[in-house]
Homo-oligomer: A and B are copies of this chain.
Amino acid sequence: MKGVRVIDMTSVLSGPFCTWLLSTLGADVIKVESPGGDSARGTPPFKEEVSLYFASLNRNKRSLALDLKTEDGKAALHKLLASADVLIENMRPGVRDRLGCSDSDLKRINPALVVASISGFGQDGSLANRPAYDIVVQAMSGMMSINGPLDGEPTRVGFSVGDIAAGLFAAVGILERLYRRDAQNESTIDKLDVSMLACQWACMENAYARYLNAGIVAKPLGSRHPSATPFEVYPTADRDIVIAIGGAHDWFRLCGALNLESLAHDERFFEDSVRIAHRDSLYELLSDRLRQESSDHWIRQLTDVSIPCSRIENVETVANSEMVEEYLAFSEVEAAQHGSMRFVRSPVANPNHRETAAPKLGEHNHEILGELGYSAEQITERFTP
C-alpha cells in the first residue's frame, strides 16, 4: 500500500485498529487529532506517561494536531484531504459535517476520496445518534448472550470484539473500494458506512442462521461448541486442557489414544449428529479417563495421533514460550522519550516490516504542514498545538 495516503480522524479503538493494520501494509497514515488529542492517550496503564492502550494502536502513524474549530485548521485539513486517498472517521454521525468534512465538502475537495465511517449503529436511522462503546454493541447485538459460563449469565467477550471486528470489516471495505477505484477505474465509489452492530451480527452468522432457520436460541455454553463434541475443556491429573475433534475420522483416533476403544462404536457416540445429543455423558466418561494422567501426557498422546488439543495458555505463558521467537509474535518499536516497547505484530504484513512508535500529539505538524506548502513561520504562528 505504499503511496496510499490515509487521513485518520478516528479515536479510541475501532478506527485506530483499522488504520494500524493499513499502516503495517505500507499505507501513509496521518492521524488528525484535536488540540486535546485522541482520548485514548489518557487510558491507563502508562509507561513513562505514554498510554499502552494508545501506543499499541497508533504505531506507524504521524500525528497532526489541528483545531478544526478555526478557519486555519479547516483549511489545512482540506489541503490534506486533497492530497489523500482515504478518509476514515469514527465520530458520532453528523460530527464530521461540523468539522468541514460533510459529503459536499468532500466532493468538492477531492471527488475521488474513499470515505469510510465507523459508528455504533450506522450513519442513518433511529439509533444513529446513540453513543456506542464496545460493551453496548456486544449487549445490543446479542453477542454477550452467546458468551459466558455454561448455563450462566451473558458475559462480555473478554477482548473488545465490538471495536476490533468493526476495524477489520472497515479495512476490508476500504481496500475493496480502493481496488475498484484504482484497479477497475470506477469513478463513483460509494461511502463505506460500517456499523459495529452489523459487524457483530456478521461474527454471529452461525447463531443467527440457527435461530432464523431452525428457531434455536443460542445461550452461553461455557467452552462448548454449539454443534460439535468433543470440543471443550477437560480436566486432567493436573491442569485443564482443550480437545477438539472435527468428525468421525477424528473420533476413532481419539478413542484409541485414550484407550477407550469401547466407546468408539457405542451407538450414543458413533455418529457426529447423535453424539452431540449425549455430550454430558460423554464429557463424564472422557473426564474420568483424562483425570488419570497429566496434561503433558495427554497433549503428547493426542498430538501424536493428530487430535487437536492444547494447554490453556495466557499472555504470560505465551510471551515466555518458544512460539514467540519462532513465529515472530511481537514487534519492537523505539521511541526516544520512552525507550523500546513491544506489541503484537500484524498477522498480514511482511514479518520484516519495521514498526515505528506511536506519535506524540502533533509530533508531525511541521513535517506534514510543510509538505502541504506552509512555511515554517506560518506553521509556528497558526498551528502550534
Chain A residues at the B interface, C-beta cutoff of 8 Å: 1-3, 12, 17, 21, 25, 39, 42-45, 47, 52-53, 55-57, 120-122, 125-127, 129-149, 152-161, 164-165, 168-173, 175-176, 178-180, 182-184, 190, 192, 194-195, 197-199, 201-214, 216-225, 227-228, 231-233, 240-242, 244-247, 272-273, 276, 303, 306-319, 322-323, 326-327, 329-330, 341-348, 350
Contacts and interface: CB of A to CB of B under 8 A. Distances in A.
Contacts of A202: 344-347
A340 to B, nearest CB: 9
A223 B155 contact: yes
8 A-B pairs closest in CB distance: A147-B158, A182-B183, A145-B314, A175-B175, A173-B348, A156-B223, A56-B209, A198-B347
A74 B384 CA distance: 65
A294 B92 CA distance: 28
B145 A212 contact: no
Given A142-B317, A205-B56, A313-B141, A169 B347 contact: yes
A42 B273 CA distance: 8
Main secondary structure of the interface of A (DSSP, over half): mixed
Contacts of A122: 327
A210 B344 CA distance: 11
A284 to B, nearest CB: 18
A211 B314 CA distance: 10
Number of copies: 2
A84 to B, nearest CB: 16
A176 B176 contact: no
A180 B3 CA distance: 11
A17 B169 CA distance: 12
A334 to B, nearest CB: 13
B142 A205 contact: no
B146 A158 contact: yes
Contacts of A195: 327, 347
Nearest to A156: B223
Contacts of A350: 190
A223 B149 CA distance: 12
A151 to B, nearest CB: 12
A158 B157 contact: yes
A161 B203 contact: yes
A86 to B, nearest CB: 12
B173 A132 contact: no
Given A315-B218, A342-B212, A159 B55 contact: no
B159 A149 contact: no
Nearest to A12: B246
Given A146-B159, A155-B155, A207-B315, 18 more contacts: A3-B184, A42-B247, A52-B209, A53-B209, A130-B308, A136-B308, A140-B318, A142-B314, A144-B312, A148-B149, A148-B155, A155-B222, A155-B223, A156-B225, A157-B158, A157-B161, A158-B218, A211-B315
A273 B173 contact: no
